[in-house]
């Protein structure tokens, strides 16, 4: 299954807005077989959220965002995942 990093320009969000977005994302994921939300990183300094998803294709990632009411500014497919343990 391909993995994607989604960049979302969101500005400054309150904790309540983050919670509501997360709940809505989970609700939509539950209705879309093959879509898995892995994790997200929030940068308050940049006003961005970076989300990691597994999905069949980029269009499915966009459809999830549309249904969840989330912005999508950039989608990057992950070609290779590495971590420090691989280089010991």
pLDDT attached to residue 25: 96
Nearest 5°: the CA angle 41, 50, 9 is 115
pLDDT attached to residue 64: 97
pLDDT attached to residue 78: 98
pLDDT attached to residue 76: 98
Burial level of 48, CB count in 10 A (0-12/13-18/19+)? middle
What is the H or E stretch that residue 4 is in? strand 3-9
Say which DSSP state 78 is in.
Answer: -
What global pTM score does this model have? 0.92
pLDDT attached to residue 41: 97
**Which CATH number applies to 3-87?**
3.30.70.3090
Would you give per-residue pLDDT tens digits along the chain (88 residues)?
999 999 999 999 999 999 999 999 999 999 999 999 999 999 999 999 999 999 999 999 999 999 999 999 999 999 999 999 999 9
Cα–Cα distance, 42 to 33 (Å, whole number): 26
């Amino acid at each position: 299954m391909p993995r994607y990093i989604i960049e979302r320009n969101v500005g400054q969000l309150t904790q309540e807005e983050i919670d509501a977005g997360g709940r809505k994302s989970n609700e939509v994921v539950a209705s879309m077989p093959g879509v898995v939300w892995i994790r997200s990183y929030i940068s308050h300094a940049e006003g961005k959220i970076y989300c990691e998803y597994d999905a069949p294709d980029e269009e499915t990632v966009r459809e999830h965002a549309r249904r969840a009411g989330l912005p999508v500014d950039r989608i990057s497919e992950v070609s290779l995942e590495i971590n420090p343990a691989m280089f010991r």
